[in-house]
Amino acid sequence: MTACDVIIEIEQLSLVLPEKQSQKYNLRSVTLTEYTKLNTFLMKTYWRSLEELQDPKALRIQEAREEAKQKSLLYKSEGGNGGNSRRDFLRTLGFSLAAASIVASCKRPVEKAIPYLVKPEDITPGKANYYASSYYDAGDYCSVVIKVRDGRPIKIEGNELSPISQSGTSARVQASILNLYDGARYKGPENLSKKITWGDADIEIPKALKEISEAGGRTVLLTQTVISPSTRKLIQQFMESYPGSEWIQYDANSSSGMLAANMRNFGQRAIPDYRFDKAKVVVSFAADFLGTWLSPVEYTKQYTAARKLDDGQRDMLRHYQIESHLSLTGSNADVRFPVKPSEEAGIILALYNAIAAKTGAEQFSGAESAVDVSSLADELLSAKGKSIVISGSNDENVQLLVNAINKLLGNYGQTVLWDSALLTRQGLDREMTQLNADILAGKLDGLLVWGVNPVYDQANGQELEAAIRKLKLSVSFAERKDETARACQYILPEPNYLESWNDLEPKMGLYSLAQPTIAPLFDSRSVQESLLTWSGTAMTYGDFIKSVWESDYYSKQSDYNDFRLFWNYTLQKGVFETPSSADISYSDEGLSVAVTKLPESQSGTEVVLYESIALGNGKYANNPWLQELPDPIAKISWDNYASVPVAYAEEKGLVNESVITVNGLELPVFIQPGQAKDTIAVALGYGRVYAGKVGDEVGKNMYAYVSEENGSRKYRIDNATVEVVAEATFPLALSQTHHSMEGRPIVRESNLDEYLLKPDAGNELHEEHEKHHATLYKEIEFKGHHWGMAIDLNSCTGCGNCAISCQAENNVQVIGKEQVRNRRIMHWIRVDRYYSGDPANPTVSHQPVMCQHCDNAPCENVCPVAATPHSAEGLNQMAYNRCVGTKYCINNCPYRVRRFNWFQYVNNDKFDYNANNDLGRMVLNPDVTVRSRGVVEKCSMCVQRIQEKKQEAKLGGRMIEDGEIKTACQQSCPGNAIVFGDLKNPESKISKLFKDKRNYHLLEELHTLPSVGYLTKVRNKA
Amino acid sequence: MYKTSIRGKLIQGDKSLSKISQDILAPIDAKTPRWWYIAMTISMAMFGWGIYCKYVTISTGIGTWGVNNTVGWGWAIINFVWWIGIGHAGTAFSIFLLILRQKWRTAINRAAEAMTVVAVGCAGLFPLLHMGRPWLFFFIFPYPNTRGPLWVNFNSPLFWDFVAISAYLLISASFWYFGMVPDFATIRDTTKSKIKKAVYGFFAFGWTGSSREWLRFEALSFVLGGIAAVLVVSVHSIVSTDFAVSVEPGWHTTIFPPYFVVGAIFSGFAMVLTLVTLMRKLYNMTDFITDSHVDAVCRILIFISLIMGTAYLTEIFMAWYSGSQYEMFTFFQNRITGDYAFQFWAMFTCNALIPQLFWFKAVRSRLWIVFIISIFINIGMWYERFNIVITSLTKNYLPANWATYSPSIIEIGFFVGTLGMFSVGVLLFFRYIPMIAVSEVKSISKFNEEIEPKEHH
Amino acid sequence: MVGVFDNEFDLVKAFEKVKAKGVKVDEVYTPYPIHEILEGMGKKTRITHAAFFYGLFGALTVLGGMYYAAVISWPLNFGGKPFNTFPSFIVVTIVATILIVTITTLFTFSARAQIFPGKAAKIVHPGATDDKFVMVLKSGEAGFEAGEIEQILKDSGASEIIK
Amino acid sequence: MFAEEQHGLIDGHSHDDIKRGERFFKGLLPFNFKGQSCVSCHNLVATDTLNWNPSAMAIAIKYADRDFESFKASIEEPVGNKLTVVHAGINIGEEDLKTVKAYLDNMAMVGPKPIKPSINNLLIFLFFGMLITWALLELIFFRRIKYRIIPVIVLLGSLGYQGKVISEEAIKLGRSQGYAPDQPIKFSHKVHAGENGIDCKYCHHTAESSKSAGIPAMNLCMNCHVLIREGTNSGKFEIAKIVNAVENKEPVEWVRLHNLPDHVFFSHAIHVGVAKLDCQKCHGPVEEMNLMRQNADLSMGWCVNCHRETDVKFKENGYYESFAKMHEEMEIGDLASVKAEDIGANDCMRCHY
């Protein structure tokens, strides 16, 4: 870096991204034609290189001319300034501290403004557009709205119109925006690492497919569960054009056992629609339905709705969780029983028997239950038709038993519905197992892999890889690098979901559309289009969907009498619902056999392999936001680890970061309160080896230990050999290291019965502190607005969606494992998790903490340079460009919500994440400054959103409506736990919540007068 | 009037005025001793490492330190307060003893003042470089600007700090310098080297020793002494407000200003003792820095040590008496016991217990024991600052934020660098500047009854 | 006429005698201040008074400046405090006043005592800064009789008399 | 081989041709043209902002890709009225003209000659630095000048000058008031907004509704210039650039004048759409500027002080009904007007987030 750069950085307060002039991509709002620039930039970086190869000489001359043109402009622009001599004077002066200011002006870069040639109608520079779309991957479905700013998708919001996700999203959905700008995406079609054109592929592959087909060979299209009706249709077409080809759906984290059981009981290869909002009692056997099980966003919405108390509701769902490792769901349960995984089946059987005994159904003998279930059975029976029993087990027999219990409880048709069955998981494991064996046995000729990664997530991945390499034809449609694609002959990258059309049917009768929000960044083509082309249909996939919708769905509605209107409105709303009903009856086929085949209780150590909240099946391991999201329970990022019970650790003398081996695999230890005795839990989805520079070699791949049992994948290791590796340590990036509240009134809670007697139960202190509210001097009066936020601790499940949503909205930087471990995580909103009670089975509390925007803010008083005063609207402001970084405010914030830029996190090779390349930086929100090294940052209550809505109101000459402004954390919160609004407006929801008896402020005894209120957590223990 | 017969001689040996000049100024004219070069090399090496660490800090960021989002201040602030404390000795000696008419101070105050200037210089580096963007330090100064103008926050203790430290540095440096002007004149008039004559002549500002000069010099000393006395109290009181004004448990307490001032004088006197014993040994200045000087400082240290002990106990009592669970936790579970018990007890032992050995004359009269104890006090005072800064920050209000802190090699290097800088400064002082205020010593020499007024013949 | 003495007591004795004669002593050079002489020379300094006014002026300026900046020019809300946070201002006022007093007094001293960088010393006797006490009398003064004065000096113990 | 090295070809032209062309262009080799040469109208270095004629560089770039015939035609048989008038009477041999073309082609390749940096200010600055050194040495060591006041005055004076330079530069730091760079097209606001009276918001039409006022897309220019192909001042050359840009889909790279630092968020909509400020309030008399110039210094103080002086449309805009108490005060007459500052316009969060 030259001296001038240094100074420009100083002068610009280094908030700009210092880039080469030619590639300068201004991330600020006022630039006119970011779209144009963007495309030029991308062409330059990725496409023009082809031309360069073709005619280097011609290009050189052209470049020379370009350069000359640039130069001429540079000189001219200096000439007009009259500052010519000044610049030169400074240029020759060199750099010293005293003359720093002088030198600074030496090289003010010439900024270009390039207007559109022809302005697109729907783009106004500086204004964002929103497009409804849908996210679907690895069984997670979410209806979303994409915020597109100057041609770039930059943020994902939940779609309020969707009956499934209802404006909620999950952390993975929020982070999916960054997948679009992932450097590990394939840039174009390849054949054995050589670039080819789509034309080549369209000739070679159909030829090979035809040859296989004609020779009577076998080709398999291996996909994840496909819920797109149009795609299912065109896959059928494709199968027909190549006889002998097969289509296998495979889910790495499968629900095969459930599907198999439902096929027996109901004849449906589907999963019924669980309605937690209609339930009074939920008993979950290791099903992490708030975190990862089936449709967690939807279930969180329903679950929290069934437990809300602020709208005069006086009844709450009661939640029992029986599980071995403390899951997100378990942490929210009213009653939780830690048991060994192999004991679960016995307990379910006992529960069945207890219920059967009272309902007069057949009882089965079996192993003794580890938990006394009689009272549970009574409670379930008293809530007949208003309860749900679920199990996370992937064992068909267990699921048959669970179905039988639900049947006995009369839940079908009440809380468990078949009319709107869930279609997002359809993979049957035995099909994949067979395919795996066939590939190894050489019984397969062609393999088309789309959206799955068997080389990574099958236990015999390496053998499989070698076998795939030997296939006659192997094609991967991978969007980004993965292990299976590496083994394939052809890589024909599919575009990101934000770049392509799609239609989805996540539930029966519920459809939604996905539309492109940006032109494909790379030379990619949707898989559907390839399949269409290869099956001889010359049609784009977008047109295909339209034709399918015109023929299939247009007739199912009566609102619009023109297909074009129907299509446009549906596209605008993103979702389309038709009433559906299914006439499905239950048959108890196989139950008596199933109970004999239940997994038996084991005596050895059992290892539970669970899906992690952040990474899921590991497909997006290269997404640094997800890698850095602390696990909601363990608060560890950037690794998977062996969760061991407290007692075990004490017995073996283990501490956090010790190392143990599990069946020979070394794993770092994390002592997890609530981990069942004799069990260990390790997350799946880590240990990718070919994911990209962020995701490679992070953690250990536990899929290698996934075995098979009763025809489905078994996420458990029985009788594991566990040994302590003496003296060894492995660093873990914990973002919270102390787990007890130390008796402090931080998370205040009560039980439903107490609350019903006295609404301020558990919150008596609040009134006490209010009484002492006194001040020496006149309080500052807020004239127009006073923004405030209320957080319902009863609704917060701790899922971590808010952290990522905030990260995307506010350009929060990723800092990597080492810095997280140094306790320097940048997340503006964090979810504190406390344990209380018995370490073997603790009570868990989640509490999101962000800047409390105190009216008597301690941080404001101590900043010497006035970088953080209070605004006239009650916000605690942070002017980055004024901050000199004394860190005093950090020290004086009792909540410790202020974050410091310890390093330059943007454009720094030491922090090689998304902000270190042009592509990754495209996700940055142009309305929020990118902070430089040495300044403090913190939650701003999304002031850019406040300003935008205020501007809209002012332009419309109207007052701001309550609920119009939504902060990023609030907008997509699946639990509706966060409410933002104007405290000056007595009618606003926030004003009402602040008067709620449950409302209190964090550390209110310090009289900091926070603008954030918390509503006490009310549990529903018996 | 000072009675030599009662309180011992102020200067040992029968020295004429000219002999006093010669003895004190000898190191300046003499050949540089070998140990000086060795010591200088070591100090320069330490200093150099410090500079490298500062370079790393500025070029890469504060991230190279061990501080984090919970513990925003680490060694930098500990060392800052420590150095400022040491920097109190000079002024304290000169001013308080001047006010108290303690004639014996004259032999020591120059060294103490020199130490002050260097120590405050070292101290000032820490708050400057612990900033995230030190190149913008001038934002802290309320100068008219084109930003509106945007001023500073006058409520911030850091702003007070900035004013206090810069004022203290300027004032103590001028106080020190103007005290030396007559001595520079003496060197100018006694030295044989032409270069020295010119250089010291320049620094002497044309001093001749005339009565008009002495008259105003006395007035100046009076004024500076008077107002600097306020500084001794104010500077460390202000430094203490960095902590006392905040809301952190263990910081938010009114005892801090007096407690800090006394602590500062304590550590300053200890450092003076360290330096003076060394000086006496190395330059054989036993005649000027007499046993009684050392004895007097030791006696003062006993007294201050008792105050320190009381302050510690008061703090603990107040934590309990306040009934605040956060305060209680900080003192009883994080200092007296807990993760930081060692640092607490090291502090308590070094500051409140070990100096009690000075009750024994046998201890006071053995220079090497005095030297060791003075080092212990310096260490103890460092631990005191560690206790205050780190224990409060690591475990504060929300347990979810609790974090540990350990310094990085860069932070350690920074501290070692200032130690090097300090000893470089002190060594230069030994070498080029009169270690003892010559004119002042001369003025007290008349109290040595050996120099009787001569009967004229 | 210059009288050089070896010690303070002789000088003071001679000084008193010369003064008693009614002869004005022009200047006395000593290695350290001698109060009898300083008083006897009859000179007064008003540096202390000046310092007081500097202080008064400094304090008012600082306080006024802060009030202007924080209340009038751009009032900002820090932590819900009133704009005029007088107690906070006091701290800075004290210290800044001390600084102002020190610097202005130093300049005053420098100007009045004619002690400034680069001044060439007019050395009457090189020992005056070491161990000699030097008294200078001007021959043009009223009542100056060379012989008489010389005798007084000699009697008081002058080690050297330069004419 | 030797010959080739000496007369090495650049882009198809020999060194000699280029040299010769340069001489013709600069009038060193005179040709018959009313005593003028090319350089009389076509600047080599952009200095005169009122020169409506295309600069040498602009011509060079335009004709670099075209053949000699079209170049020759533009000189000898120009189409535009203006060009016909000014180019009338040029008489230059074809071979000579070819060398001129060679010279221009070469210029398009290598770019204009760099301007040699002027170091006057630096020299003055260093000179004062030396004066300081001298004065110090004089005061301390030499002592040759009897009146000590002289070096003291020199010292103080020099320090003052250097201080002034440094503080002025520091204030100017990142500012560019008066910045008026040459643009790729000689677009005159005076002609459009002044003489032809086109409303600002016709071209900058998003100013009222978006944060950005918007630089008009080229197709907007074409609304008028589809008909108007020749200007009174600039002839056809400049307008042809617009047409060319639209036809060849080459966006025009304007040089931005108003560059706020990246940490400042400014919205035109609030100022133009809500506060109804005139464009001239900030941008100055644009209708009088041939070459667009940055009028205000765009400093924070400039923003903040305007907020202190400007009234808010408090009663007119329904949004401000949220400020109920202030409306009451206004009713009873306690409050005469509401300045932008009074509703928090000078809060940090308004511009920095």
Compare all CA atoms of chain B with the CA of A635 and give the residue at the minimum distance. B400
Whole-number pLDDT of residue A122: 65
In angstroms, the CA A122 to CA A612 distance is 40
Q: Do C80 and A780 touch (CB under 8 A)?
A: yes
Whole-number pLDDT of residue D10: 54
Q: Which of A38, A102, A883, A987 to probe the D interface (max D CBs under 10 A)?
A: A102
Higher model confidence: residue A344 or residue D51?
Answer: A344
Min mean pLDDT across A45-49, A563-567, A717-721 is at: A45-49
Assess whether C53 and C107 both reside in one domain: yes
Q: Do C122 and B208 touch (CB under 8 A)?
A: yes
D267, D311, D271, D346: which is closest to A948 by C-alpha? D267
**Looking at the partner chain, which of D211, D217, D274 has a beta carbon nearest the beta carbon of A119?**
D217
pLDDT digits (tens, 9 = 90+) for C127-142: 777 777 888 877 776 6
Q: What percent of chain A has pLDDT over 90?
A: 57
pLDDT digits (tens, 9 = 90+) for A161-210: 998 988 899 999 999 999 999 989 999 999 988 899 999 999 999 999 99
Compare all CA atoms of chain D with the CA of B148 and give the residue at the minimum distance. D301
In a domain, C117, yes or no: no
Whole-number pLDDT of residue B215: 84
Cβ–Cβ < 8 Å for D43, D56 = yes
- Predicted TM-score (pTM) above 0.90: no
Q: Do D349 and A871 touch (CB under 8 A)?
A: yes
Q: What average pLDDT does this structure show over A109-121?
A: 67
- Beta pairing partners, A790: A979, A1013
Compare all CA atoms of chain B with the CA of C7 and give the residue at the minimum distance. B453
Domain annotation for chain A: domains and CATH numbers: 3-107 (no CATH), 256-420 (3.40.228.10), 603-734 (2.40.40.20), 751-774+785-1019 (3.30.70.20)
In a domain, C153, yes or no: yes
Whole-number pLDDT of residue B91: 76
Q: Do A113 and D255 touch (CB under 8 A)?
A: yes
Contacts of A728 (CB under 8 A, 6+ apart): A658, A659, A666
Whole-number pLDDT of residue A475: 93
Q: Do B219 and C45 touch (CB under 8 A)?
A: yes
Q: What average pLDDT does this structure show over B141-161?
A: 89
Whole-number pLDDT of residue A45: 28
Contacts of D209 in chain A (CB under 8 A): 124, 127, 955
Whole-number pLDDT of residue A335: 93
pLDDT digits (tens, 9 = 90+) for B324-361: 889 999 899 888 988 889 999 999 999 999 999 989 88
pLDDT band at A121 (very low <50, low <70, confident <90, very high): low
In a domain, C147, yes or no: yes
Whole-number pLDDT of residue D173: 66
Note down the domain range covering C99. Answer: 47-112
In a domain, C155, yes or no: yes
B391: left (phi over 0), alpha (psi -120 to 50) or beta: alpha
Q: Do C89 and B223 touch (CB under 8 A)?
A: no
Query: Residue A226: pLDDT above 60?
Result: yes
Q: Are strands A665-671 and A679-684 parallel, antiparallel or unpaired?
A: unpaired
Min mean pLDDT across A173-187, B223-237, B367-381, D260-274 is at: B223-237
Contacts of B240 in chain A (CB under 8 A): none
Q: Which of B81, B133, B239, B396 to probe the A interface (max A CBs under 10 A)?
A: B133
**Looking at the partner chain, which of A32, A68, A959 has a beta carbon nearest the beta carbon of D215?**
A32
Higher model confidence: residue B285 or residue A869?
Answer: A869
Q: Do A124 and D322 touch (CB under 8 A)?
A: no
Residue given tokens 């309160």 in the structure block? A673
A662, A271, A949: which is closest to D267 by C-alpha? A949
Query: Residue A12: pLDDT above 50?
Result: no
Compare all CA atoms of chain B with the CA of C105 and give the residue at the minimum distance. B220
Which of A135-144, A770-779, B21-30 is most confident?
Answer: A135-144
In angstroms, the CA A831 to CA A800 distance is 7
Taking the mean position of all CA atoms in its chain, how far away is CA C28? Answer: 14
Q: What average pLDDT does this structure show over A588-602?
A: 83
Contacts of C118 in chain D (CB under 8 A): 139-140, 143, 148
pLDDT digits (tens, 9 = 90+) for A921-967: 888 888 888 888 899 999 999 999 999 999 999 999 999 999 899 99
Query: Residue D49: pLDDT above 70?
Result: no
pLDDT digits (tens, 9 = 90+) for B162-189: 999 888 888 888 888 888 888 888 888 8
**Looking at the partner chain, which of C76, C80, C82 has a beta carbon nearest the beta carbon of A866?**
C76
Q: Do B63 and A737 touch (CB under 8 A)?
A: no
Higher model confidence: residue A939 or residue B363?
Answer: A939
Compare all CA atoms of chain A with the CA of C85 and give the residue at the minimum distance. A777
- C133 to chain B, any CB pair closer than 8 A? The answer is no
Contacts of D265 in chain A (CB under 8 A): 28-29, 927, 944, 947
Q: Do B210 and C27 touch (CB under 8 A)?
A: yes
What are the angstrom distances between the C-alpha of B311 and each of A599, A1013, B244, B260, B315? 67, 39, 15, 10, 6
In angstroms, the CA D336 to CA A65 distance is 62
In angstroms, the CA B337 to CA B315 distance is 15
Whole-number pLDDT of residue A968: 93
| Secondary structure (3-state) at A282 | strand
In angstroms, the CA C29 to CA C4 distance is 9
Q: Do C80 and A869 touch (CB under 8 A)?
A: no
Burial class for A757, CB neighbours closer than 10 Å (0-12, 13-18, 19+): exposed
pLDDT digits (tens, 9 = 90+) for C60-101: 999 999 999 999 999 999 988 889 888 889 989 989 998 999
Q: Do A824 and B69 touch (CB under 8 A)?
A: yes
Q: Do A861 and C76 touch (CB under 8 A)?
A: no
Residue given tokens 């997948």 in the structure block? A179
pLDDT digits (tens, 9 = 90+) for B256-269: 999 999 998 888 88
Reported residue count of chain B is 457
pLDDT digits (tens, 9 = 90+) for B380-431: 999 999 999 999 999 989 999 999 999 999 999 999 999 999 999 988 887 8
pLDDT digits (tens, 9 = 90+) for D22-46: 888 877 777 766 667 787 778 776 5
DSSP C53-99: HHHHHHHHHHHHHHHIIIIII---BSTT--S--HHHHHHHHHHHHHH
Q: Which of B69, B131, B159 to probe the A interface (max A CBs under 10 A)?
A: B69
Contacts of A863 in chain C (CB under 8 A): 78
- B284 to chain D, any CB pair closer than 8 A? The answer is no
Q: What average pLDDT does this structure show over B61-88?
A: 91
pLDDT digits (tens, 9 = 90+) for D296-347: 888 889 999 999 999 998 888 889 988 888 888 888 888 888 899 888 899 9
Residues of D with CB under 8 A from a CB of C: 139-140, 143, 148, 304, 346
Whole-number pLDDT of residue A809: 93
Q: What average pLDDT does this structure show over A833-853?
A: 93
Whole-number pLDDT of residue B101: 65
Whole-number pLDDT of residue B322: 86
Neighbours, chain D (3 or more CB pairs < 8 A):
A, B, C
pLDDT band at D47 (very low <50, low <70, confident <90, very high): low
- What is the three-state SS of chain D? CHHHHHCCCECCECHHHHHHHHHHHHCCCCCECCCCCHHHHCCCCCCCCCCCCCCHHHHHHHHHCCCHHHHHHHHHCCCCHHHHHHHCCCECCHHHHHHHHHHHHHHHHHCCCCCCCCCHHHHHHHHHHHHHHHHHHHHHHHCCCCCCHHHHHHHHHHHHHHHHHHHHHHHHCCCCCCCCCCCCCCCCHHHHHHHCCCCHHHHCCCCCCCCCCCCCCHHHHHHHHCCCCCECCCECHHHHHHHHHHHHCCCCCEECCCCCCCCCCCCHHHHHHHCCCCHHHHHCCHHHCCCCCCCCCCCHHHHHHHHHHCECCCCCCHHHHHCHHHHHHHHCCCCCCCEHHHHCCCCHHHHCC
Assess whether C98 and C150 both reside in one domain: no
Instruction: State the nearest Cα–Cα gap between C79 and chain A, in angstroms.
Output: 4
Q: Do C118 and D346 touch (CB under 8 A)?
A: no
What are the angstrom distances between the C-alpha of B110 and each of B183, B289, D72? 11, 12, 89
Q: Do B248 and A891 touch (CB under 8 A)?
A: yes
Assess whether C60 and C24 both reside in one domain: no
Whole-number pLDDT of residue B48: 94
278-317 in A: which are within 8 Å (CB) of B? none
Q: Do B198 and D305 touch (CB under 8 A)?
A: no
Min mean pLDDT across A123-127, B360-364, D317-321 is at: A123-127
- Quote the DSSP letter at residue A929: P
Assess whether C97 and C66 both reside in one domain: yes
**Looking at the partner chain, which of B149, B217, B453 has a beta carbon nearest the beta carbon of C9?**
B453
Assess whether C52 and C92 both reside in one domain: yes
**How much is the mean pLDDT over chain A?**
84
Contacts of A860 in chain B (CB under 8 A): 153
Instruction: State the nearest Cα–Cα gap between B321 and chain C, in angstroms.
Output: 27
In angstroms, the CA B49 to CA B66 distance is 18
Query: Residue A67: pLDDT above 70?
Result: no
pLDDT digits (tens, 9 = 90+) for A674-707: 999 999 999 999 999 999 999 999 999 999 999 9
Whole-number pLDDT of residue A17: 32
Q: Do B198 and D141 touch (CB under 8 A)?
A: yes
Total of domains in chain C: 2
Which of A67-71, A244-248, C35-39 is most confident?
Answer: A244-248
Contacts of D281 (CB under 8 A, 6+ apart): D306
103-162 in B: which are within 8 Å (CB) of C? 142, 148-155, 159-160
Residue given tokens 């920095």 in the structure block? D352
Query: Residue B49: pLDDT above 90?
Result: yes
Min mean pLDDT across B28-42, B415-429, C27-41 is at: C27-41
Instruction: State the nearest Cα–Cα gap between B321 and chain A, in angstroms.
Output: 17
CA angle B445, B450, B456 (to 5 degrees): 100
DSSP C98-121: HHHHHHHHHHHHHHHTT--TTPPP
- B307 to chain C, any CB pair closer than 8 A? The answer is no
Q: Do B148 and D301 touch (CB under 8 A)?
A: yes
Contacts of B63 in chain A (CB under 8 A): 819, 824, 902-903
| Secondary structure (3-state) at B358 | helix
Contacts of B209 in chain C (CB under 8 A): 29-31, 128-129
Query: Residue A9: pLDDT above 50?
Result: no
pLDDT digits (tens, 9 = 90+) for B235-244: 889 999 999 9
Whole-number pLDDT of residue B159: 92
pLDDT digits (tens, 9 = 90+) for A532-556: 999 888 888 989 999 999 988 888 8
pLDDT band at D140 (very low <50, low <70, confident <90, very high): low
Query: Residue A108: pLDDT above 70?
Result: no
- Helix, strand, coil: what percent of chain A each, to 5? 35, 20, 45
pLDDT band at D147 (very low <50, low <70, confident <90, very high): confident
Q: Do D140 and B149 touch (CB under 8 A)?
A: no
Compare all CA atoms of chain A with the CA of D122 and give the residue at the minimum distance. A89
pLDDT band at A106 (very low <50, low <70, confident <90, very high): very low
Query: Residue A31: pLDDT above 50?
Result: no
Whole-number pLDDT of residue A21: 28
Q: Do C123 and B208 touch (CB under 8 A)?
A: yes
Q: Provide the residue ranges of all domains of chain B, joining segments of one domain with +.
A: 17-143+157-397+421-445
